[in-house]
Amino acid sequence: MVSPNSSLTGANDSAPSTEGLTEILRNRQRRAICKCLNSTPDGTLDELLDQLCQRTPVKETDSAERHRLRIRLHHVHLPFLADLGVLEYDHRRQTIHYRGHPHLDHLLE
């Protein structure tokens, strides 16, 4: 699991700091993940993958790219967001619960 440094989480270690929010917003895929999960906060890795692929032009989501995105979600993006406290991700069941963050949700609108 990716462990962000302590400066990415706030003082209570359950909410991202301003720097943590910046790290989320700076990455196109993380922004898309949070937007999808903001509208459907509970789901599975495959449901999120389907939503993300629907947002991408068809030619860019061939089976190989879909597989690469699934791996990035499972090993990079979801653990990173979980470490920041934005969501809960169960690796074994591949289930997601989006907690959100008021500032993040506002900035994604």
Residue 7, domain member (yes or no): no
Task: Give just the sign of the alpha carbon dihedral 91, 31, 24, 21.
Answer: negative
Residue 58, domain member (yes or no): yes
Tokens 């989501």 belong to which residue? 61
Domains contained in the chain, number: 1
Mean pLDDT is lowest, of 11-20, 58-67, 85-94, for 11-20
Residue 21, domain member (yes or no): yes
Please give the mean pLDDT across all residues of the chain. Answer: 84
CATH of the domain at 100: 1.10.10.10
Query: In 10 A of CB 39, how many CB atoms?
Result: 8
Residue 30, domain member (yes or no): yes
Q: Domain containing 60: what range? A: 14-108
pLDDT tens sequence across 28-79: 999 999 999 999 999 999 999 999 998 876 566 688 888 999 999 999 999 9
Tokens 């947002």 belong to which residue? 55
- pTM for this prediction: 0.81
